[in-house]
């Protein structure tokens, strides 16, 4: 039925068809792939007890969902990678569910706590709940940006969301970029739907289907983008995103 992965006293359950498999999924006609970053705090509610929630989500949407292991994060983040396979409608439906869970930040994580340099920080920027973070191949990123940034500008104007893409990583072989969408739920939904449309248009959109980045070393530009209305000055570093295709765009 599934695999149990024990970490100390904790057991993480991955249903066999929603696992961190190393196998490359086969693409069916009319199906596409979408990679989503998921904050660790939201992973449990997406998986559900014994994997029940994610199994039900797959049944309802017809999508196949794979999630990286609990400590297998996307480079430069503490977020897990979720790979969704299905029709465009299924991708949008699954992302809407994920976005809902991301908005449900546990209260304990938003409260200030005494800093202990020997322990990892458990607090986070509550504005993460207003963001969607998608991972797309460079080819899809080009379609999202459009000539001179025209496409991404149109997406922002039509959705009301703020959309930014990470810079191409240097020094590591990573042929993809992170798209950060910020705004209110309906704004984010509209922008993500537009991005899924670009995934459909790109024949190379299924070129990066791995969910494990355990062997990737080096800085990756994928944190809160500089210039984002949800970027925290304390979180921004020189490796952070500075805009779309080396330029900064925002809502008017």
User: pTM for the full model?
Assistant: 0.75
What is the domain partition of the chain in residue ranges? 1-105, 127-208+221-252
Contacts of 240 (CB under 8 A, 6+ apart): 221, 223, 224, 225, 226, 231
The pLDDT value recorded for residue 90 is: 98
| pLDDT attached to residue 32 | 98
Over residues 130-179, the pLDDT tens digits come to 999 999 999 999 999 999 999 999 999 999 999 999 988 777 778 999 99
CA 21 from chain centre, in angstroms, equals 18
Same topology, domains 1-105 and 127-208+221-252? Answer is yes
Q: Which of 60-74, 99-113, 224-238 has the lowest mean pLDDT?
A: 224-238
- What is the architecture, at CATH level 2, of domain 1-105? 2-Layer Sandwich (3.30)
Question: Per CATH, is 127-208+221-252 categorized as 3.30.1370.10?
Answer: yes
Segment 10-20, tens digit of pLDDT: 334 344 344 44
| Confidence band for 6, pLDDT divided at 50, 70 and 90 | very low
Mean pLDDT of 214-234: 51
pLDDT at position 237 = 33
């Amino acid at each position: 039925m599934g695999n149990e992965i024990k970490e100390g006293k904790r057991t993480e359950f991955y249903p066999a068809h929603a696992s961190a498999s190393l196998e490359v999924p086969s693409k069916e006609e009319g199906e596409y792939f979408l990679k989503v970053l998921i904050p660790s705090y939201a992973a449990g509610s997406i998986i559900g007890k014994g994997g029940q929630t994610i199994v039900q989500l797959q049944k309802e949407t017809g999508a196949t969902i794979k999630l990286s292991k609990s400590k297998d994060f996307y480079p430069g983040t503490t977020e897990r990678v979720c790979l969704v396979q299905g029709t465009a409608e299924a991708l949008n439906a699954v992302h809407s569910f994920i976005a809902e869970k991301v908005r449900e930040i546990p209260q304990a994580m938003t409260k200030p706590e005494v800093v202990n340099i020997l322990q990892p920080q458990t607090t986070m920027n509550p504005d993460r709940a207003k963001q969607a973070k998608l991972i797309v191949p460079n080819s899809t990123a080009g379609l999202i940006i459009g000539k001179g940034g025209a496409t991404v500008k149109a997406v922002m104007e039509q959705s009301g969301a703020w959309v930014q893409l990470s810079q191409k990583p240097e020094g590591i072989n990573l042929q993809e970029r992170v798209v950060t969408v910020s705004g209110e739920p309906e704004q984010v939904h509209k922008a993500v739907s537009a991005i899924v449309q670009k995934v459909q248009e790109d024949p190379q959109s299924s070129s990066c289907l791995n969910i494990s980045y355990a062997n990737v070393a080096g800085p990756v530009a994928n944190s809160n983008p500089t210039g984002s209305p949800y970027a925290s000055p304390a979180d921004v570093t020189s490796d952070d995103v500075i805009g779309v295709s080396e330029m900064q765009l925002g809502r008017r």
